């Protein structure tokens, strides 16, 4: 019974980074760096050179981007992107969206932080989430936030 309950409890699974090709990793990392550079330079123009989902594009309009950048700056200060440390995918529906987890350093926090970025497997479209938390897994962050006991 404990084995059965343990297997039913998992809502996400890790994706091996060795399954990611170099281009896929680069697209994610370049998008994150571009986003943060735009915030730092107060450049709220359109993103070019990336496949971005329609849902996420609404968050990248000049007013929305400005608001997001101001919030990131207020909450974290200057952000420096590190390496891709892991990727996770939801178990249901399966195999269409991966959440890439990048290690970041923030000016206002000494503890390790992670930036989570969604990326569709089909044509590497950038998607939500674009989220910063102390947990390496975005799904763990959401579990803690919404499934408090």
H or E segment at 111? strand 109-120
Q: What is the pLDDT of residues 66-121, one digit of tens each?
A: 999 999 999 999 999 999 999 988 877 666 888 999 999 999 988 999 999 999 98
Region at 25 (left for phi over 0; alpha for psi -120 to 50; beta for the rest): alpha
DSSP secondary structure code for residue 11 in this structure: -
Strands 79-90 and 97-106: antiparallel
pLDDT band at 143, cuts 50/70/90? confident
Region at 63 (left for phi over 0; alpha for psi -120 to 50; beta for the rest): alpha
Residue 19, pLDDT > 80, answer no
């Amino acid at each position: 019974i404990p084995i059965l309950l343990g297997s039913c409890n998992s809502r996400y699974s890790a994706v091996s980074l060795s399954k990611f090709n170099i281009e896929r990793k680069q697209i994610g990392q370049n998008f994150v760096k571009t986003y943060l550079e735009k915030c730092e330079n107060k450049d709220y123009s359109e993103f070019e050179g990336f496949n971005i989902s329609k849902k996420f594009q609404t968050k990248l309009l000049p007013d929305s981007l400005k608001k997001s950048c101001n919030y990131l700056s207020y909450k974290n200060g200057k952000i420096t992107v590190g390496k891709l440390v892991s990727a996770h995918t939801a178990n249901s529906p399966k195999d269409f969206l991966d959440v890439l987890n990048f290690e970041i350093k923030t000016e206002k926090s000494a503890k390790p932080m992670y930036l989570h970025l969604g990326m569709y497997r089909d044509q590497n479209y950038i998607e939500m989430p674009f989220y910063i938390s102390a947990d390496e897994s975005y799904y763990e962050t959401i579990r803690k936030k919404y499934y408090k006991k």
